[in-house]
Amino acid sequence: MVDVEAGPVERRTPPDGYRRAIEAHRQAAPPSRVDPGIAAAVERQTKAMRELSRRAFPEPDVVADDAPAPIEQARAQRRRQATATETAALRRARQERSAREAGTPTIGPPAALRTTA
């Protein structure tokens, strides 16, 4: 690797054609103008939309620290449902096994398979 001493960079003067093109562009491009009336109207509209949004979607009330969060409530409900389903399935399996061992028909029709649409 070659060490190069860092020194001031010498810039070349841009060509005349480049400077003429830049000047022509500056003259052709209109300066940006901001109408204060339009800017104020935009600000009022933004403020009104934020207020409508706050009314339509209010902030939820503060929840106590020991209260479960909504996601935790949903998980707990799913766990309860899964436990109830498992308990019902075990109960039915025991009934069917005891019916088979006793040589009697099973209670109720066989479980129908569910399909998803």
CA distance 48 to 51: 5
Measuring CA to CA, how many Å separate 81 from each of 65, 78, 86, 111, 113?
26, 5, 9, 19, 19
Question: Is residue 62 assigned to a domain?
Answer: no
- Residue 63 pLDDT: 60
Cα-based torsion angle of the residue sequence 25, 26, 32, 33 in order, rounded to the nearest 10 degrees? -130
User: CB of 107 within 8 A of CB of 99?
Assistant: yes
Does pTM surpass 0.85? no
- Residue 113 pLDDT: 56
- Residue 32 pLDDT: 73
Domain assignment of residue 83, given as a range = 70-103
What is the tally of structural domains in the chain?
1
CA distance 83 to 61: 32
Question: Is residue 90 assigned to a domain?
Answer: yes
Cα 71-75-79 angle, rounded to 5 deg: 170
Question: Is residue 88 assigned to a domain?
Answer: yes
Question: Is residue 8 assigned to a domain?
Answer: no
Spans in the chain with pLDDT lower than 50 = none
- Residue 74 pLDDT: 87
Question: Is residue 39 assigned to a domain?
Answer: no
Question: Is residue 59 assigned to a domain?
Answer: no
Question: Is residue 92 assigned to a domain?
Answer: yes
- Residue 30 pLDDT: 78
